[in-house]
Every structure is written in C-alpha cells, then in structure tokens.
Structure 1
Amino acid sequence: MAKRDYYEVLGVSKSASDEEIKKAYRKIAMANHPDTHPNDKEAEERFKEASEAYEILSNKEKRSNYDQFGFAGVDGGAGGYQNVYRDFSDIFGGGGFEDIFSSFFGGGSSRRSSGQSAQQRGSSLQYNVTVDFKDAAFGTKVDVSYAHDEACDTCAGTGGSGTKTCPTCGGRGQVTRGNGFFQMASTCPTCGGSGRIIENPCSSCHGTGVKRKQEKLSVSIPCGSDNGTKLVLRGKGNAGKNGGPAGDLIIYVNVKPDKYFAREDMNVFLQIPISFTQAALGCEVEVPLIEGGKVRVSIPSGIQSGKSLRLKGRGVPRFRGSESDRGDMYLTVIVETPKHLGFKAKALMKQLSEAMGENTSPDPIPFEN
C-alpha cells in the first residue's frame, strides 16, 4: 500500500507551525497507542504511521527535504520510532504516557529489572471545562466531578501480602509481541510490569492496591484565561504504585464565544453601527463593556466606516494578574446607509447632495489605500 502524505496523516496543512504539528501528533498518539488499544491492529498502524510522520515533520532539515522531494528526500532518513521518544516527554508532559511509550519500545526493561518494587508515579488525568467569555476574562469557580484511582485503605496500597515471580513474564515485567524485524515489548498484563504477583490479594481491592473513587472539586479559573489554558492540580490524578506519588489532574479551559466581543490575547474587539449623519457630524454613543455596563465614547466628525478607536484599559486582565492590569478594547465603527427614507428625508438628502456638489464620476481608490 502506498504511503500517505505526512501532512495528511497528521491532519495539518503544509504551512503548519511546529506547535501545530506537535499537537496533532499528540492527539493521534494518545488516541491510538497500542498499550491502550491491545490487539487493535488498525490503531497500532495509525500510531506507527503518525510517529513516522512526526519524526520527519518535527525535524526542520528532514521536513525541508520532504517538502522539496517528497518521500525520495527522506528515504532512510527516519531514525525509527525511538527517535520520536526524544521529544515524547515534551509532547505529553511526562507521566503515564512517557512510561507507556518507553515500555512499548523496550526502553524501560532495564529500569524494571533493576527496580521491580520501586515507587511509580500515578498517571495524570485530563478534564475539560467550558466557561463563558466574561468568566474567562475575570475569573470564576467551576465544579469538577471525576473518577480516579485512590490507594486502598485496607492494604495501604500494597495489594495484599506475599509475592512470587510472575509466571507470564518470568519476572521481567514485560512481554514481547511480534517476530522478525519488528518486535514490540509491552507491560506484562498479569503483573502490571512489576515482575511479581501477590500470593494473598487484598479482599477490598482484589490485589490491585487501588480503589475507584468519585471526587468533586471546586476549581478556580484565573482571570485572563483563554481557549486552551492549562491548569494543573498536583496529586489529584491516579494513585501511584508501591507508595509512589499520585499523578495530576490537568484541566483544559474552553471559552464560549461571545455574540458581540472578539478577543486576541488581552485585547477585545467590538463593532458598533452609526448613521452616516452621525459619522459626518460626529457624536457620542454608549458602547457595552466586557465586565458589564456601558461607557460613553466620542465619535469624531468625518469618521469613515471601518475605522477603529482604541479604549485603553478596557480589555481582558493579564492571566493571573490584577483587574487593573488589562489590555485594550478596539471599537470598529460601521457606518450604516439607511434602506428606507420617507418623502421629507429624501428631499433633505437631495438638498444635501446638491449643497455638497458630490462627484458623479469618482476616481477609483488604489487597493493599498
């Protein structure tokens, strides 16, 4: 089967930034990792395909060669999936997926064999919250309800008493799948990678050392939060193994779009309509603010449609900053032409047109203007 274009594999454009490529690969890898999809050949192939694409596109030189010459420019240039692992902790932020990736390619065998009972950090969990535009700007609190693994209080997380060598992996903590050129090592499903199994499992947790718990937290969303803001709650993830620390709960913030306001960093944008007589003569209008209420703004005479006015300090507060440290608001004036004029209004408009001596054969305006 012919290879798919690397950009198509990751679902990004050819002009995608390094960060966009990294995010796209992260999403595919998390959704298709073989250790989370055992015996799913299609997921495994998607994972390998995405890893190969990321290996090329994350390297400036290889990406340049690929852009110029296609696959011919990178044949033999991919260093295998082990090279992808160099940046995997940066992509996934460490934690559980780093351990999964290492074990998948056999990188963790020496670590397990030398410390099968060593403490292991628990996996981190992800939770998405959606807040209103105003709440993201000025901060709010949201309730988060989620399930996570907690150390069993009956056996103190040990899983029971007495251990023996795992018969499945022979104490290695890993099993190997495949044969020939491409072999993959993964965590032993019987002992969970420890190389040992418990002879007298705890009756409460059945030897797992953990219990599933539903927890509810009140989480503070800081002022200045935006789409994609990442909040880390240390130790609120899954319990660790052998007394290891718990993972984290990672909160990702999504912001609902506002009907009238748009945002870019700390600045906000608003469009306000005025009549052409207001534009010609100048006026004062009241415009809404993101925090609520209105402010009176002077519109200078002769303003053109599309012109923007800056309202200093009326934007979004700095992330985790004070409400006084804010961006600006840019007010774009839209001059509206009346669609329906009465007899008297038409007569007055005609007099105005004659008085102004309007040009009936105007010169075109250059695009750069």
Structure 2
Amino acid sequence: MSDNGFRADWAQKDFYATLGVTKDAGADQIKKAYRRLARENHPDSNPGDTAKHDRFKQVAEAYDVVGDPEKRAKYDEMRSLYGSGGFGGGFGGGGTSGGAGGFNLDDLLRDRAGAPGQGGLGDMFGDLFRGGGAGGGRTRQRVRATKGGDVETTATISFTDALDGVTISLRLSSDAPCATCSGTGGKPGTKPHVCPECEGAGFVVASVGGAFSMNETCPACHGRQLLYDDPCPTCHGSGRGQSSRTIQARIPAGVKDGQRIRLRGKGGAGEHGGPAGDLYVTVKVSGHRLFGRKGDNLTLDVPVSFDELALGADVRIPTLAGTPVTLKVPAGTPNGRTFRVRGKGARKSDGTSGDLLATVEVQVPAVLDATAREAVEAYRAATAGRPLRANLFEQAG
C-alpha cells in the first residue's frame, strides 16, 4: 500500500482470472464462481492450510471489486487505461517509485493533473483503492459499517396502562462511539494505517483444536480494519464511550407481564455509518387490587351469600372500564361457578377485547345476630336428614 492509503497493487491484479471467469462474465456467473471458490478455500474447511487461506483472501478481494457494479466499472476503466499491470514499462516497484521506464502512482492519483476544483484520478478511483488523494494527500479509508449494539432495559407499568397502552420515558445508558475520536480509536488529527495483523480484513483465523478453526475478530484492531499509532487519550484506543439519553417508547395495548418488546433502531449508535441497534424492553405489570388477568381475559372474585346462590339473585359487579354490569345468578348455583361477561376483558392485538370472568364465592359471616342465628338453626333442622357426606365414606371404601 502506498503512503497515501491507495492499494496500488490492485492495478496489477487480474481479478477475473482470480475468480476463473472472463472479463465479460455476467454478475450471476461471477457470484457463482466466487461462492464455489470461497466454499472450497474457506479457512473453516481447511484448517492449517495456509495456501488455501491465502487463496480465500484473494478470492474475497477479487469479488469485493468485480462483484460490485460500480467498483467493477472503475476497475475495468483503470485496466483499460494502464494495461494489464503496466504503463510505460510498469509500475516500478509497486507503483511508488518514478525512475526511468516507470512512474509514481501516488502522484498520478493526486489532483495534480487538473485545475483547482477538478477531480483527478484519485477522485475517479479513490473509493476503489480504499482512499483518496484530493488536495494535500488527504486519506479517506473505507471501513466496514457496523451496526450498533442492542440495549436491554426493564419498565414497570400499571395494570390499566398494560390494557390500554401507554407511552413511557426511558433513561438509557449505552455503549456509543467515543465523543473525542468519533469511534476511530485514534488521537484526533492523526492518520490510520491498515492493521498488519489481519491485513485489513477485520478478522483472523483461529484454531479451536483438532481439525477445526473459526474466524475471530482481529485482536489488534478489534474488527475496525485500521490502526492508529497514537491512540485516543479519552478511550485509550477502544473507540467506545458511554451515552446517556432519554427516549419515548410506546407500549402497545394488551401487553402482558414479562413480555419483551423490540423497538427497532432505538439501541446503541452504529459505527462508520452503520445502523443503530435495537432496544428490548421487558415489561413488568403491577397487580390490581380487584382484577386479575388470564391471557386476554380479566378475572374477578365476587363475594356472595348462601341465600343468593340457593334462591337466585341479580348481583351487580364492577368492570375495569368503570361501568357496572349485573350477573343473573340462577337459583341453586354452586359455589365457585364462573360467569363470563363478553367484551369486558383486555384488548387484543386485532382490536377486539377479551371477556371478564367473574367467579362467585360464598362468604361465611364471622358473627351472627340472634335473628340470623335462629334462621340458620331452623335451616339446619329442616335439612338434617340429607346425608351430604355419605359419598365420602362410600368412595373411601
């Protein structure tokens, strides 16, 4: 690589030959060839085979250029201008020296051929060669866009808010690019160079024992592909910092206790133009003093007296919406029976509502006045001949 960041050696490489296709091959043919070669030479399938590891890198490099229509067009134009790896006797020592019979590629790629404001060959091929030589040799390194990290938090809402939906404020602290170096990891004002450990790939091949190996994030550049000789004084080269912010999050109606909600793009900020991560909110729903919940239905325990079940009664009960309803309790209703009130439950995702399940429970008075006690004793005398527990002994054997 030249001093200004250009991959001058690319001008001497035949990427079509690397992929085993012709110059006029279609995009599908190029993709098919790349996939076949990548599969044959992938480090995970060829542990310890350095020749195939190198071949894999060459194939990936070739496809990165000719597999992209815009890059391919510029590559073809460059090849037609300079020929197959030479111009007036070649590039002379990799394109960085300008002796007899050669030329200095760095000078050629700078904006020296045109008037101020006109783009030179550096502008034409800058993005292809991972840099740009406009003006005074300014470097524009291309690094991979990285998605921001996902963030998880917990929010507690009330029982009624869970049923109706609510917008809440969340204070988040998340990993973010360092504010001093903008996530590069380098001291402001300094220039990076390609990581020598991974050769700009962002990953290295590591053996995990036996015949297996895997790709790991480069330990030297941490996947950023570039290194700075002078690290950022704030983040010490990590490129990471902490970010605190407040966001508004909409919790949908009908959310259940413990449900995990995903909010796209509300997580950590991405790097080098990458998208933000996602925010996952685990919702905790507070209990209600009267109502419970069973799926999309609400539940309610309704206290009743013995005579209401025995003789029948109209029992008025509340609903969460505030409008009371009346249960028609027929005579002879057993204790613990559940009545269904349609449409008075939790809101469903389709906009409809579940039901209210009201269960009647007999309440036994702790103290009886003289009149009530006399009435109960009269009832006991009237029903004394009914063996309520006879079946218990028969079934017990």
- TM-score, with length taken from structure 2: 0.55
Aligned counterparts of 2:278 and 2:169: Cα–Cα separation in 1: 17
Q: Deviations over 1:220-275 (max 9, x none)?
A: 21110112333222222122233211111121212223343222221111111111
CA distance in 2, matches of 1:358, 1:204: 90
Q: Which residue of 2 aligns with 1:237?
A: 267
Determine the C-alpha separation between the residues in 2 that align with 1:338 and 1:360: 24
**Unmatched 5+ stretches in structure 1:** 1-103
Change (3 A) 1:106 1:333: farther
Q: Encode CA deviations 1:68-115: one digit per residue, 9 max, x unaligned.
A: xxxxxxxxxxxxxxxxxxxxxxxxxxxxxxxxxxxx9999x979x858
Against the structure 1 CA distance between its residues 202 and 361, is the aligned structure 2 distance closer, same or farther, given a 3 Å change threshold?
closer
1:217 is paired with a residue whose SS is: strand
SS at match of 2:192: strand
Contact kept, 8 Å, 1:267 with 1:315, in 2: the verdict is yes
Which residue matches 1:219? 249
Distance (Å, rounded) in 1 between the aligned partners of 2:46 and 2:211: 14
- Choose from 310, 316, 329 the match for 2:356: 329
Amino acid at match of 1:352: Y
> How far has the Cα of 1:195 moved from its partner?
3.7
Say whether the 8 Å CA contact 1:132–1:255 is kept in structure 2. Answer: yes
Distance in 2 of aligned mates of 1:182 and 1:292: 65
**Could you say if the C-alpha distance between residues 361 and 282 of structure 1 is closer, same or farther in structure 2, counting changes exceeding 3 Å?**
closer
What's the % identity of the aligned pairs? Answer: 32
Partner of 2:286: 256
Maintained 8 Å contact 2:159/2:286? yes
1:168-208: CA deviations, max 9, x gaps?
55655337476567777642333112343134656676655
The answer to whether structure 1 residue 344 and structure 2 residue 371 are counterparts is: yes
Match of 1:145 in 2: 171
Provide closer, same or farther for how the CA distance between residues 220 and 214 of structure 1 changes in structure 2, counting only shifts above 3 A. Answer: same
C-alpha distance in structure 1 between counterparts of 2:323 and 2:220, whole Å: 63
Change (3 A) 1:187 1:149: same
Specify whether residues 299 and 268 from structure 1 end up closer, same or farther in structure 2 by C-alpha distance, changes over 3 A only: same
Instruction: State the number of aligned residues.
Output: 260
Deviations 1:277-308 (A, max 9, x none): 12112223332323346433332222110111
The DSSP-based 3-state class of the residue aligned with 2:144 is: coil
Check conservation: 1:106, 1:184, Cα contact below 8 A: no
Q: Which AA in structure 1 matches 2:160?
A: K
The reply on whether 1:299 has 2:329 as its aligned counterpart is yes
Structure 1 residues 302 and 127: CA distance shift in structure 2, 3 A: same
3-state DSSP of counterpart to 1:136: helix
CA distance in 1, matches of 2:385, 2:335: 18
1:132 corresponds to 2:155: no
Q: Which amino acid aligns with 2:223?
A: G
Q: Match of 2:193?
A: 164
Contact 2:260/2:283 (CA < 8 Å) preserved in 1? yes
Consecutive unaligned residues in structure 2, runs of 5 or more: 1-43, 48-52, 65-141
Q: 1:326 to 1:353 in 2, by over 3 A?
A: same
CA contact (8 A) 1:105 1:184 kept: no
Q: Report the counterpart of residue 7 of structure 1 in structure 2.
A: none
Q: 2:139 corresponds to which residue?
A: none
- SS for the counterpart of 2:169 is strand
Give 2:227's aligned residue.
197
Q: Is this contact kept in 1: 2:164–2:253, CA < 8 A?
A: yes
Alpha carbons of structure 1 residues 124 and 263: separation in structure 2 relative to 1, 3 Å: same
Residue range with higher mean Cα deviation, 345-354 or 300-309? 345-354
**Max Rg structure:** 2
Q: Distance in 2 between matches of 1:340 and 1:266?
A: 39
Equivalent residue of 2:293, what SS? strand
Q: Does structure 1 residue 314 correspond to structure 2 residue 344?
A: yes
TM-score under structure 1 length normalisation: 0.59
Secondary structure at the aligned position of 2:191 is classed as strand
The whole-number CA distance in structure 2 between the counterparts of 1:236 and 1:258 is 31
How far apart, CA to CA, are the structure 2 residues paired with 1:286 and 1:106?
76
Change (3 A) 1:327 1:175: same
Deviation readout 1:124-163 (Å, 9 max, x if unpaired): 1111112122211111222211112445676665555532
**Aligned residues of 1:106 and 1:186 also touching (Cα < 8 A):** no
Query: Quick one: structure 1 residues 106 and 289, their matched pair in 2 at CA, closer, same or farther if it must change by over 3 Å?
Result: farther
2:325 corresponds to which letter in structure 1? V
